[in-house]
């Protein structure tokens, strides 16, 4: 009898477990030729994650312009989310930190109502504007999970065909906003290239989604196959990395993620991506978001650096479901 009671209590605790209240700030571009599909994958992943309660979605420039990305986000939410999630237009490329937008105003309102975790899947301009203009609200931000960062000396290189490597795209598009976040006391989690580069979505994975998935998967797959083909042409690899999905996984599937707390600092160093660098000539400098144990700074972040092999199947299962 005691065993039965314990089982009932355990089941009740599982089914009544509180969801994580999140705000998603993204820069979707699925459907635009030669542009990333990872934001769209991550949004569908979030919609199909029972661990999350998505309070709102804001759109920022990044993978494409704000004017193109905003209707894509609206479409994805309208067609594929079971819940009515509001979508707000945020910062465009030329907007300075601190310029209020519909997105920053609504994010502030949501934070006043209850504490939130913010998933920053693109440049952090929208989030930094709220932190910059309303520092008193930072106590309501549980964490900011951003897709950015690296260790000193790390290059974001894929395959062997393209020697120019990738930029730390989200960070470099608005490094000033990230500097603003580091000056605050808000806990920050980094889901960087180091961890997302360990996961590969292949043609067979996309075929699985197409054959077993619903309308959302059938919409996503053609765009993802176009992105897959681009990676084959540019990098000569048989897959692509679903960057933003690892930020979602930090919340929904923490057992798959290995991380550590490390000092963080922005440093200005020589650009490691330009062709001039590869030719051995002096190139321009750029900011780097660096984490390392020996950095002389008091600011720490949670740095995700390893993901288990089980994660990809978990991701595919969520998308199919």
**pLDDT tens-digit profile of 262-313?**
999 999 999 998 655 444 545 689 999 999 999 999 999 999 999 999 999 9
Q: What is the dihedral of CA 72, 147, 14, 82, to 10 degrees?
A: 0
Res 165: pLDDT: 85
Res 274: pLDDT: 65
Q: How far is CA 19 from the centre of its chain?
A: 19
Res 278: pLDDT: 43
Q: What is the pLDDT of residues 17-41, one digit of tens each?
A: 699 999 999 999 999 999 999 999 9
Assign residue 45 a region: left if phi > 0, alpha if psi is -120 to 50, beta otherwise? alpha
Q: What is the pLDDT of residues 52-67, one digit of tens each?
A: 999 999 999 999 999 9
* Nearest-10 crossing angle of helices 215-235, 310-320: 140
| CATH numbers and ranges of domains, the chain | 19-263+293-320 (3.90.245.10)
Is there a contact between 91 and 103 (Cβ–Cβ < 8 Å)?
A: yes
Q: Give SS3 for 295.
A: coil
Q: Is 18 exposed, middle or buried (0-12, 13-18, 19+ CB in 10 A)?
A: exposed
- Joined together, the tokens standing for residue 250 give 């930090």
CA distance 19 to 47: 13
* pTM for the whole structure: 0.92
Res 93: pLDDT: 87
| pLDDT greater than 80 at residue 110 | yes
Place of tokens 């009515």: 84
Res 6: pLDDT: 40
Is there a contact between 224 and 177 (Cβ–Cβ < 8 Å)?
A: no
Res 283: pLDDT: 62
CA distance 142 to 144: 7
> Which residue in 233, 238, 231 sits closest to 202, CA to CA?
238
Q: Where are the alpha helices (DSSP H) in the chain?
A: 2-15, 38-47, 66-80, 102-113, 125-133, 169-173, 175-183, 193-196, 203-212, 215-235, 245-252, 275-278, 310-320
| pLDDT greater than 80 at residue 16 | no
Q: What is the pLDDT of residues 147-185, one digit of tens each?
A: 999 999 999 999 887 777 889 999 999 999 999 999 999
Largest CA distance in the chain: 77
pLDDT confidence band for 8 (50 / 70 / 90): very low
Cα 43 to Cα 37, 216, 248, 253, 298: the distances in Å are 10, 11, 9, 15, 34
CA distance 34 to 223: 9
pLDDT confidence band for 117 (50 / 70 / 90): very high
Q: What is the pLDDT of residues 181-190, one digit of tens each?
A: 999 999 999 9
| pLDDT greater than 80 at residue 252 | yes
224 beta partners: none
Res 161: pLDDT: 78
Q: What is the pLDDT of residues 217-227, one digit of tens each?
A: 999 999 999 99
Mean pLDDT of the chain: 92
- Joined together, the tokens standing for residue 137 give 């609200």
């Amino acid at each position: 009898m005691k065993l039965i009671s314990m089982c009932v209590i355990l089941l009740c605790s599982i089914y009544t477990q509180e969801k994580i209240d999140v705000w998603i700030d993204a820069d979707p571009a699925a459907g635009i030729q030669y542009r990333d599909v990872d934001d769209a994958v991550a949004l569908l992943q979030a919609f199909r994650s029972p661990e999350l309660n998505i309070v709102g979605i804001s759109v920022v420039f990044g993978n494409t312009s704000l004017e193109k990305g905003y209707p894509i986000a609206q479409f994805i939410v309208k067609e594929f989310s079971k819940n009515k999630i509001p979508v707000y237009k945020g910062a465009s490329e030329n907007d300075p930190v601190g310029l209020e937008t519909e997105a920053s105003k609504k994010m502030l309102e949501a934070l006043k109502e209850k504490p939130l975790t913010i998933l920053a899947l693109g440049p952090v301009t929208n989030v930094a504007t709220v932190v910059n203009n309303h520092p008193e609200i930072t106590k309501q931000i549980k964490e900011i999970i951003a897709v950015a960062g690296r260790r000193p000396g790390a290059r974001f290189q894929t395959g062997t065909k393209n020697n120019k490597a990738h930029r730390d795209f989200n960070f470099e598009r608005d490094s000033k906003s990230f500097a603003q976040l580091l000056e605050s006391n808000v806990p920050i989690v980094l889901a960087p290239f180091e961890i997302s580069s360990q996961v590969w979505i292949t043609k067979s994975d996309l075929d699985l989604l197409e054959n077993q998935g619903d309308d959302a998967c059938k919409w996503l797959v053609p765009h993802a196959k176009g992105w897959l083909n681009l990676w084959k042409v540019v990098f000569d690899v048989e897959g692509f990395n679903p960057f933003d999905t690892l930020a979602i996984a930090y919340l929904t599937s923490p057992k798959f993620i290995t991380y550590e707390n490390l000092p963080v600092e922005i440093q200005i160093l020589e650009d490691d991506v330009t062709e001039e660098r590869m030719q051995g000539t002096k190139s321009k400098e750029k900011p780097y978001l660096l984490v390392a144990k020996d950095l002389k700074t008091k600011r720490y972040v949670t740095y995700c650096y390893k993901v288990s092999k089980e994660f990809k199947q978990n991701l595919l299962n969520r998308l199919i479901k």
